[in-house]
């Protein structure tokens, strides 16, 4: 069997699409409210919990990315 090499792009390409999160609007809103309180000088703790693989890191990363753009 003869395997041919795969073609690759001759230049780097950026993929700038916002990571998609479905059905977490309430959670995002609560995290943003807590973040805004910190920006106003308040102190607080925001705990994110859930089973492995449910998207905790993805959720927090998405909010952090959004807030960094503001």
Query: What is residue 19's predicted lDDT score, i.e. its pLDDT?
Result: 61
Query: What is residue 48's predicted lDDT score, i.e. its pLDDT?
Result: 93
> Cα 67 to chain center, whole Å?
10
For 15-43, the DSSP string reads --PPPP--S-HHHHHHHHHHHHHHHTT--
Instruction: Read off the DSSP letter of residue 54.
Output: S
What residue ranges do the domains of the chain occupy? 25-69
d(CA 62, CA 26): 14
Query: What is residue 33's predicted lDDT score, i.e. its pLDDT?
Result: 92
Query: What is residue 56's predicted lDDT score, i.e. its pLDDT?
Result: 93
Query: What is residue 17's predicted lDDT score, i.e. its pLDDT?
Result: 62
Residue range 14-58, pLDDT digits in tens? 666 666 778 899 999 999 999 899 989 999 888 999 999 999 999
């Amino acid at each position: 069997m003869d395997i041919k090499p795969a073609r690759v792009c001759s230049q780097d390409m950026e993929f700038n699409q916002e990571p998609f999160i479905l059905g977490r609007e309430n959670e995002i809103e609560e995290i943003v409210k807590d973040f805004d309180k910190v920006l106003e000088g308040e102190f607080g703790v925001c705990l994110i919990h859930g089973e492995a693989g449910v998207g905790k890191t993805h959720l927090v990363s998405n909010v952090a990315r959004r807030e960094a753009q503001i």
